[in-house]
Amino acid sequence: RPAGVIEVKSGARKDGALLAWEFHNYNSGPAGIGTPYDVVSQRIQFHPVKSPLRQGSYRALAATANHFARESHMDEIAHEIGMDPLAFRMKNLSDPRLKAVFEAAAEKFGWAKRTKTPGRGFGIAGGFEKGGNIGLCAEVEVEGGKPGGRVRIRRVTAAFECGAIVNPNGLRNQVEGAIVQGIGGALFEAIQFGNGKILNPHFAQYRLPRITDVPTIDVVLLDRKDLPSAGAGECPIVGLAPAVASAIFEASGERRRALPMEGIGS
């Protein structure tokens, strides 16, 4: 994806009600930039930037970066006011479809019954893109339970809804594939530059997800026969990175606000 910088500012009451939202995306794109949360005072802008390099599209386009910034920031607000991240989101959501996937993911994952242990953390995130709605929970282990520790994703539960389901097996494959691909962008994948050259131009040096990186994945499909079918190739990837970032914070106390979170080539 195109490189980008995203700046977010917000305001909320102690009871969890969002009051203000300001969101600026520089260069990485406007897809998925609008917030689904209810906030009256908002300013959301995409700022194009001239790049010396060719830039192209990637699965979910800029929606992945915008969801990472937005959902990570939502978690930070919830932490500041001492509110459960799921409860905070639900308080500020009126979209019934997005609320439904959050609820389904949390129920299947056992969000309300989760028990924090040293070095283990839990995160939740979600969003919508191209007619699909995703809610995703992640359990993460951070080596040593300290900032900078190596990250292992242990368990992921995703609930997805994109209208009427035509092919359940195909849809499940799309969601699982998006989650696995999302692991790469969240933890490892990036281009390295030095002295005006690309340092990892081949897949031998470009870190992709491996079988050993793949956690247990549970997928819940919500079939809305009353709604037209939408595509499932874009949306499922957007929840993984912010959910993992939130889980890393719970496990280690460290906020990782840049992708990839584990480090290039780890």
pLDDT tens readout for residues 111-142:
999 998 999 999 999 999 999 999 999 999 99
Give whole-number Cα distances, 153 to 107, 139, 199, 238, in Å: 19, 6, 27, 16
Q: How far apart are CA 11 and CA 33, in angstroms?
A: 18
Per-residue pLDDT averaged across 210-235, rounded?
96
Residues 6+ apart with CB under 8 A from 217: 156, 157, 158, 176, 179, 180
pLDDT of 263: 66
Per-residue pLDDT averaged across 1-23, rounded?
96
**φ, ψ for residue 31, nearest 5 deg:** -60, 130
pLDDT tens readout for residues 186-209:
999 998 989 989 999 998 999 999
pLDDT tens readout for residues 144-189:
999 999 999 999 999 999 999 999 999 999 999 999 999 999 999 9
- Contact between 265 and 208 under an 8 Å Cβ cutoff? The reply is no
Q: Where are the alpha helices (DSSP H) in 11-119?
A: 63-81, 85-91, 96-109
pTM assigned to the model: 0.95
Tokens of 185: 């962008």
Of 58-62, 123-127, 215-219, 221-225, least confident by mean pLDDT is: 58-62
Residue that is written with structure tokens 């195909």 in the block: 170
pLDDT of 55: 86
pLDDT of 265: 47
